[in-house]
Amino acid sequence: MTTLFDNRAPAAGPASPDKAQASYEGYVEPDTRIPPKARPVLEAVSVDGVEIPQAAILAEAQNHPGANPGEAVRQAAHALVVRELLVQEARRQEIEASPEPDDEGRHETQEDALVRALIEAEIDVPRANEEECRRYFERNRERFRTDPLWQVRHILLAAREGDETARANARHKAQALCQALRAHPEGFAEAASAHSACSSARDGGSLGQISRGETTEAFEAALEAMRAGEMSSEPVETRYGYHIIALDRMEAGRDLPFEHVKGRIAGWLEAASWSRAVAQYVTLLGASARITGVTLEGADGPLVQ
């Protein structure tokens, strides 16, 4: 009978020393005392052959409030690529510039001076005229109002967020105190002195005059819904605890006249125009440069930090 397949194990016996040595020929045991080299945070970043070191990118990342460390590093690499583009162009044009001090007396670096001089030479932004300013004013009237002012007193029953027992006790105490003060509002200052955890307790709970942005959103929303002379019908919950609020007086916001804000509007319009012009200029420089590791956005992107 013909044997189609022989699955018998090979005869046991010592392996040939020559064969064993051949099977390990060229093998080098790894040195575990040396840790593996970390991969770079970014691929090589360069502009026309000039490499931007990773250390410089990581140092620059501290100036960029990214949503996470990776985003901050990408923003930093982007900013340094833009800077290198401008420095190279300034040198190509043989622009001369001397470092100048800022408002705090700190001097620019030589490269910063070159970038400033290049932009001053290349970017020409026209002044915003009165017609443009007035048109912006009419389209954005809500931006040109003073904030309301509130004369406020309050009593704070403090409780930390997350402490459910303390929050429940503070809410119960605030509700009882609120009910008692609705019947006897003249006792507000005495109650604040006795129960409030705020430093205003020594002044009868008075916070003086406050405006938008000076307190929490929940506290501010309660004030918006109240009329002068009213006390909150229910305690107002914030992250600090529960508040009983008395609104003594309110001064509504008022429209600002055009003449009062014309200079501010002109500054905004000219700054926006300057930013767009610089972004477009950088885009043109980037289109003719060899850039690795970073992709420049279009003219509307945040090209210049």
**Residue extents of the structural domains in the chain:** 46-126+264-292, 149-251
pLDDT for 252 equals 86
Residue 305, pLDDT above cutoff 60: no
What is the model's pTM? 0.58
pLDDT for 304 equals 43
Q: How many CB atoms lie within 10 A of CB 106?
A: 8
List Cα–Cα distances, 140 to 72, 256, 271, in angstroms. Answer: 33, 12, 17
Q: How far apart are alpha carbons 186 and 180 in whole angstroms?
A: 11
Please enumerate in sequence order all residues whose Cβ is within 8 A of that of 211, keeping only pairs 6 or more positions apart, or say none. Answer: 147, 148, 149, 150
Cα–chain center distance at 297: 20
Note whether 265 and 180 are within 8 A (CB).
no
Mean pLDDT of 273-294: 93
Residue 244, pLDDT above cutoff 90: yes
Note whether 223 and 214 are within 8 A (CB).
no
Residue 251, pLDDT above cutoff 80: yes
pLDDT for 302 equals 39
Residue 284, pLDDT above cutoff 90: yes
Q: To 5 degrees, how large is the angle CA 271–CA 82–CA 110?
A: 90
Q: What is the dihedral of CA 109, 115, 118, 124, to 10 degrees?
A: -120
The strand pairing partners of 157, in sequence order, are 242
The strand pairing partners of 210, in sequence order, are 150
Q: How far apart are alpha carbons 263 and 144 in whole angstroms?
A: 13
Note whether 241 and 162 are within 8 A (CB).
no
Q: What is the CATH number of domain 149-251?
A: 3.10.50.40
Scan for tokens 């055009």, then name that residue: 258
Q: How many CA atoms lie within 13 A of 249 on its CB side?
A: 6
pLDDT for 3 equals 43
The amino acid that residue 198 corresponds to is C
Q: Give the pLDDT confidence of 82-132 residue by residue, as tens digits.
A: 999 999 999 999 999 999 988 888 889 999 999 999 999 999 988 999 999
Query: What DSSP state is assigned to residue 212?
Result: T
Residue 301, pLDDT above cutoff 90: no
Q: Give the pLDDT confidence of 44-57 residue by residue, as tens digits.
A: 999 999 999 999 99
Q: What mean pLDDT value characterizes the chain?
A: 86
pLDDT for 4 equals 43
Q: How far apart are alpha carbons 197 and 240 in whole angstroms?
A: 10
- 57-65 long-range contacts, CB within 8 A, separation 24+: 63/305, 64/305
The amino acid that residue 233 corresponds to is S
Note whether 50 and 83 are within 8 A (CB).
no
